[in-house]
Chains A and B, each alone.
Chain A
Amino acid sequence: MQISRRKLRALGDLGLLAAVAVGVSVLFIGAADLPAPRFEPLGSAAMPKILGVLLILLSLPIAFRAIRNLLRRDPADAKQEPPIQLPHRGVLVFGALLAYAAALDFGRVPFVLATTVFVALSGMAISGISVRSVLIYIFLGLGLSLALSYIFTNFLYVRFA
C-alpha cells in the first residue's frame, strides 16, 4: 500500500511527538527527585517542570494537525507522487561512524588503523566501490590519521587510543 507524502509527514510528526512525550516524562520524573527550594524562590525543579508543560502545550497543535492530516482523504493525484527515496548512503555512513567510534572507545583500536579503515569505508559508501577508489581512500585515511595523530599528540597534547 502506497502512502502519501502528507500522511507520511503526519506519521513522522506523531513519531516525533511520541519521543517528546518520553522526554517530558523524563523531565517530570527527574524533577520529582529534586529538593524543594530553600535558599531561593524558584528552585532547581522549576525549569524542568516549566519546560515540560511548555513542551506539552506546543505539542498539542502539532498533534492535532497531524491527526487531521492522517484522517483526511488524499487527493486523487497523491498516488502519482514520486516515492520517497531512503537515504541508503547516509545510513551506511552513519553505520560506519558508529563502528568507528565504538572501535576507538570500546575496542581500543589504534587511531591510525581505525581512521584509515573508516575513511576508506565511508568514502566508498559515498562514492562507490572500485579498486582505484579503495586505494585512494586508504592512502587518504592513512595520511590524514598520521598527520592528525602527530599534530594532536605533539602540539595539542591530546592522545587517542
Chain B
Amino acid sequence: MLDAFAALFQWQNLILLVGGTALGIVVGAIPGLTASMLIALTLPLTFRMDPVGAVTLLIGQYVGGISGGQITAILLRMPGTPASIVTTFDGYPMAQSDRAERALALGITASVVGGIISWFFLAGMSPSLAKFALQFGPWEYFTLVLMALVMLAVLAQGSLAKGLLAAALGMAFALPGIDSSIGQARLTFGNSALLSGFGLLPVLIGAFAISQILRDASSPRTTKKVKVSRRKLPIYISDIKTHGPNMLRSSVIGTWIGLLPGIGANIAALVAYSTAKQLSKEPEKFGTGHEPGVVAGESANNSSIGGALIPLITMGIPGSVTEAILIGALVIHNLQPGPLLFQNSPEIAYGIIAAYLVANFIMLVMMWGAVRQIAKVIYIPKGMLLSVILVFCVVGSYAVNSNFSDVWVMIAFGAIGLVLEATKVPLGPFVIGFVLSPIAEEQLRASLMMSDGVWSDILDRPYALFFLFLALATVAWPMIMGRLAQKNKKSRS
C-alpha cells in the first residue's frame, strides 16, 4: 500500500489526479453531465498512458464527479448528478434562507468524511476479500455475474420485465465477433467489421454520452443567478458532536449500499436521508433546510463510491455503470479485474485504493477554495458545451482503432440508448449486460467443461448455490411483495 502511495505522489500521477478531480467537480456541477459520461469520454485518451496514471485520472474524475453535483443542487436546486438529488431537499432551502455557505461547508465536509470512512472499508476488506474470491471456480463466477446482473436489472427504476429485458439485450449485443473458445466467427454474417465485435468504448460513449446529449439538446435550461456571498464557508468544532454520528452512520449506509450491484449513489443517499429523518428528534424539519439532511445525503453518496469499488477490484463485478466503464478501462490496459489483480498487478489494485483516498482530500481543497468559481460553469451556453462534447465523442470513438466503423457503432448505440430511454427501458442493466456477457459465457462454458456437461454439479458448490439463490430471491421478492400489497388492499376494501 505504501508503494502505491509513493507511486501516486510522483508528479505525473499527482497532476493526473488533481486534473481528473478538478474536471470531475466541474462536470459534476453541470446538470445533465455525469461522471460516467466524463470517464467514458476520457478513456480513449488513456490508451497510451501508463495504467497507474490512467486509473488515477479516472478515479479522480469519479470522486470529483459525484461530489461536484452538490454545488448546483444546493445553489439552484438542480442536482449536477442524480446522486445529489437528496441534497436539494434541504440544501436549497438553506441557500434560500441565506445559509448557502453553511450548506456547502457541511456538504463538502460530509462528502470527504464519507469518502474517508468508505476508504477504510475499501482498504481493509479488499485484500482479504480478493484472497477469499480466489477459492471461486467457474460455477461461482458464473452465478456471481448472474446475481449481479439480475440485481441490477431488478433494482433499476421501472418495471421488472423491462430491467431484465435490458440486461438480456445488452448481453445479446456482446455476442457478435470471434468466439474465443473455438476461434470461429459468430453472428457476423460475413461482415469483417464485426469480427472483433462491438467495441466497448463506442458502445459506452454512444449509450451514455450521445443519448444524454441529444436529450439535453432538446430540453430547456433555465440558468438562474447563483447567490453565494464572499463570506467564508463556516464549519465549527462543535459540528463533530452535532453531525458526527449522522456522518458516520450515513457513510456506513452508503458504503454497504455501494457494495450491492445496481443500487448506486442516489439510492444510498435516499436511504441515509430517510434513516436520519427516522432517527431524528425533529423529523418535521427535514425538507425545510435542516442541516442533517445535507449531511446524510452527501456522506452517503460519496461513501457509496468506496463501497462500489470493493466488488470491482476484488471480483471484477461492477456495481454501477461507472464501475462498468472502469472495468473497461482496466481491460483496455490488458488488466483482468478480479481477485488476481492483487497478485498480478498489485500496483493497480492498491493504486485504485490509494487514489480514492487522495482524490477525496484534493476534492476537499478544491471545493473549499473554488466553490464560487465552479458554480459559474453553469453559465457556459448549452450549445457550446454540447457541441464540443459531441466532437469529443466522435474523436474518442475513432481514436480507439483509427477506424470510422467505431464512430458508426457509437452513433447507432446512441440511437439505441434514446429508444430504450424513451420506452422506459433502463440503460444501466443494458450496458452492464454488455460488459458482463463475455465473462458469464466464458465461465458457464468452463463450468460445463469441468463437469462434463453435467449441470447438477452446481449442487456441490455451496457459494454458487448461494449466489443463485440470491439471484432468484431478488427476482421473486418484488413479485411476492406486490402480491401481498394487493391482498392487503383487497382485505381492507
Contacts and interface: CB of A to CB of B under 8 A. Distances in A.
Partners in one complex: yes
Nearest to B393: A97
Given A125-B217, A126-B386, A16 B48 contact: no
B15 to A, nearest CB: 15
B423 A90 contact: no
Nearest to A161: B404
Given A55-B165, A90-B215, A93-B390, A133 B187 contact: no
A39 B181 CA distance: 9
A16 B423 contact: yes
Contacts of B181: 39-40, 44
The majority secondary structure among interface residues of chain B is helix
Contacts of B424: 9
A67 interface: no
Nearest to B408: A101
B382 interface: yes
Interface range, A side: 35 or more
A141 B159 CA distance: 42
B162 interface: yes
Contacts of A61: 161
A59 to B, nearest CB: 7
Contacts of A136: 384
B472 interface: no
* Central interface residue in B210, B387, B425, B445, by most chain A CB within 10 Å: B387
Contacts of A38: 182
A35 interface: yes
Interface range, B side: 35 or more
B408 A144 contact: no
Nearest to B184: A44
B186 A44 contact: yes
Contacts of A140: 384, 387-388
A51 B404 contact: no
A145 B391 contact: yes
Contacts of B384: 123, 127, 136-137, 140
A44 B179 contact: yes
A78 interface: no
A20 interface: yes
B462 interface: no
* Central interface residue in A52, A90, A118, A137, by most chain B CB within 10 Å: A90
A41 B215 CA distance: 46
Contacts of B419: 16, 19
A105 B404 contact: yes
Contacts of B415: 94
Interface string A8-41: 0100110110011001001100110011001111
Contacts of B386: 93, 122-123, 126
B411 interface: yes
Interface in B215-254: 215, 217-218
B387 A101 contact: no
A128 B447 CA distance: 58
Interface of A: 9, 12-13, 15-16, 19-20, 23, 26-27, 30-31, 34-35, 38-42, 44, 47-48, 51-52, 54-55, 58-59, 61-62, 85, 87-90, 92-94, 97-98, 100-101, 104-105, 115, 118-119, 122-127, 133, 136-137, 140-141, 144-145, 148, 152, 156-160
Pairs A-B, 4 closest by C-beta atoms: A41-B453, A127-B383, A87-B218, A126-B383
